[in-house]
Amino acid sequence: MNNELMRIYNRQVLIFTDLDGTLMDHYSYEHKDAKHCMNRLLGHSIPIIPNTSKTFSELLVLRKRLKLNGPFIIENGAAIYINKNFLPEKPKGALWQEGFWVKSFSSKRNYWLGLIKKVTPEYGHLFESFSKMSQERIIELTGLSVEDALLSSQRQFGEPLFWKGTDEELEGFIAVLRRMGSHPVKGGRFLHVGGDCNKGKALTWLLKEYQRQHKNITVSTIALGDGKNDIAMLEVADTAVRIASPVNEPPELQRTTKIHTSSLHGPKGWAEVLEQLIPESTFFAQSK
Ligand SMILES: [Mg+2]
């Protein structure tokens, strides 16, 4: 076992994972190639925590499909939902909502829709706002089924925009939105307009809360992602895993250590790297 594995294995590991293009295939949204690896890790009580741009409504369905029953982070770090048995006590600053402890980090969607309205006269011809899209258009842009498209439109904290302009125009637009107090993040398909939250801040908050409530355990984190909106969590996790994507280059990181990049796409790459980082032999070595 190498040193990195030793460091991981003397601790409780928390895995934070992007979904689209990472645990789930960018095109088919399937996760079957990661299933075996997921089940093995869950069997060793390693939580797999989705950290996604998707909505609460989508996650309720996806958790069942993925057979995950732990915490999850929605809408690019806008809120964390924590199941009651994940932590011994109420998490600080969380509210009990719909069967979860919920910690939110952003203003609600209406606030951001108001802001987008202000920039529409000048930039409206360059983007399509999710809230204004027909269900057919959402399906066309995302490849989601009718049911899933409906769930994805139930956003609480931010607004996705489909960009139709050039990259240069996008840069200018992002600068304008920033000056107005929003923190736009480019995902795999959309520009997400929302508050000062990201997948990294959410990861850090949950890690701190977990550590506060488990003082005798040293916790380490692995984050996996394939897009720009994953950079914040890839930077703050102990180990960063970049999943190769069929549509973009692996996200560029500032950090220079403990970065792994998969050679395979999506769920195949997910399993490829986690099988290397957490091989079954580790557990035998640990129990000896
Ligand atoms: Mg992704």
Residues 82-130 pLDDT 10s: 999 999 999 999 999 999 999 999 999 999 999 999 999 999 999 999 9
Q: What are phi and psi of 214, to 5 degrees?
A: -135, 70
Nearest residue to 73 via CA among 43, 45, 46, 94: 94
Joined together, the tokens standing for residue 261 give 């990049």
pLDDT in tens, 146-162: 888 888 889 999 999 99
What residues does 260 pair with on adjacent strands? 241
**126 Cα: distance to centroid of ligand 1 (angstroms):** 23
Distance 263 CA to ligand 1 centre (A): 16
Measure 226 CA to ligand 1 centroid, in angstroms: 5
User: What is the CA(187)–ligand 1 centre distance, in A?
Assistant: 7
CA of 240 to the centre of ligand 1 (A): 14
CA of 141 to the centre of ligand 1 (A): 15
State in Å: Cα 17 to ligand 1 middle: 9
CA angle 3, 42, 287 (to 5 degrees): 50
Higher pLDDT, 164 or 4: 164
pLDDT per position as a tens digit, 220-248 = 999 999 999 899 999 999 999 999 999 99
Task: Please state, in angstroms and rounded to a whole number, the distance separating the CA atoms of residues 69 and 82.
Answer: 10
Query: What's the gap in Å between 53 CA and the centre of ligand 1?
Result: 8
Reported confidence tier of residue 256, pLDDT bands at 50, 70, 90? very high
Cα of 85 to ligand 1 centre, how many Å?
A: 28
Interval between CA 121 and ligand 1 midpoint (Å):
31
Distance, CA 245 to ligand 1 centroid (Å)?
Answer: 8
pTM higher than the cut 0.75: yes
Torsion angle, alpha carbons of 57, 33, 160, 109, to 10: 30
In the chain the domains, ranked by start, together with CATH numbers, are 3-105+197-287 (3.40.50.1000), 109-193 (3.30.980.20)
Are 232 and 200 in contact by the 8 Å Cβ rule? The answer is: yes
Best CA proximity match to 210, nearest among 54, 80, 68, 64: 80
Specify whether the CB–CB gap between 278 and 41 falls below 8 A: yes
Q: From the CA of 192, how far away is ligand 1's center (Å)?
A: 13
